[in-house]
Amino acid sequence: MAEANLQNEAAEAAAKGDAPLLQMVDVCKRFGGVQVLDNVSLEIGSNEIVGLVGDNGAGKSTLIKTITGVHLPTSGDIYYKGEKISIHSVKKSRKLGIETVYQERALADLQTIWQNMFLGREITNKLGFMNIKEEKRQSELMMREHMGFTSKAITVDTEVEFLSGGEKQGIAISRALYFKADLIILDEPTVALSLSETQRVQEFILDIKRRGHSAIYISHSIYLLYPVCDRFIVLDRGRVAGVLDKKDVTQDELQEKMVNLVKTGVLA
């Protein structure tokens, strides 16, 4: 579809109040002479989990970095809740309600759980001082009720370095939910996790949906993506090769399509 049409559509949808949560229109990103994103157009709706799949170097991480304010697109437009926006910093994307959970660097290891929960978004009292008591109380509630931490050995004062990888990701996702992120982006959140920890992260992702939020989930494992995603966007060498609805494709078919794409360069 021509860019002008897509832009008109986005403006009309916004006026009617039924705009997608996020829309990218003809987004390109070049690093020097290399075109890493090539006219990417896609939509993420409200309350859906979208799997972003593609081979190594397809541009998945670069794509999400243009949404999270790490990279500005070289050209193209991004609409958020129907409004054209420029996401020029990570701070700006967070303010809009977009949070990212990475494989690593999700948390500050040497700080406690409660400090990590409120890092950069401290609760302050009327005089502007940090309200540590309230931050700890809120963290405690989240840990027991939402994250399902039952072990007495872990308290809000536990330093994050003592937690398992799955627990760390749980905190990162819960933090995003606590701050009411509309869109949570998960870039290979289960790499280096054990099977049981991975299952726990899968539960957290389902929780994102149950609570009415949306997510973009990046993983090389169709086996992990398929059960929790509603749709799949296939990226190939910087282009959107196809968008598949879960009802139109089985897990095995999706797996086969991805293998074929690597072999033949065609999504069939």
Ligand X SMILES: Nc1ncnc2c1ncn2[C@@H]1O[C@H](COP(=O)(O)OP(=O)(O)OP(=O)(O)O)[C@@H](O)[C@H]1O
Give me the residues that bind ligand X (CB under 6 A), please: 31, 34, 36, 54, 56-62
- The distance of closest approach from Cβ of residue 84 to ligand X in the complex, given in angstroms and rounded to an integer, is 24
Q: Phi/psi zone of residue 239: left (φ > 0), alpha (ψ -120 to 50 degrees), beta?
A: beta
Half-sphere exposure (Cβ direction) of 43: Cα atoms closer than 13 Å:
16
C-beta closer to ligand X: residue 10 or 201? 201
Q: Which does 36 bind (CB under 5 to 8 A by kind): ligand X, Mg ion, none?
A: ligand X
Rounded Cα distance between 74 and 180, Å, is 30
Alpha-carbon distances, residue 71 vs 29, 228, 254 (angstroms): 8, 28, 30
C-beta closer to ligand X: residue 36 or 142? 36
Q: Which does 57 bind (CB under 5 to 8 A by kind): Mg ion, ligand X, none?
A: ligand X
- The distance of closest approach from Cβ of residue 58 to Mg ion in the complex, given in angstroms and rounded to an integer, is 8
Closest by CA to 261, choosing from 228, 226, 234, is 234
DSSP characters for 57-108? TSSHHHHHHHHTTSS--SEEEEEETTEEE---SHHHHHHHTEEEEESS-SS-
- The distance of closest approach from Cβ of residue 229 to ligand X in the complex, given in angstroms and rounded to an integer, is 17
- The distance of closest approach from Cβ of residue 36 to ligand X in the complex, given in angstroms and rounded to an integer, is 4
C-beta closer to ligand X: residue 146 or 220? 220
- Options 5-13, 19-27, 39-47, 58-66: segment touching Mg ion (CB under 5 A): 58-66
Residues lying near Mg ion in the complex (CB under 5 A) are found at 61
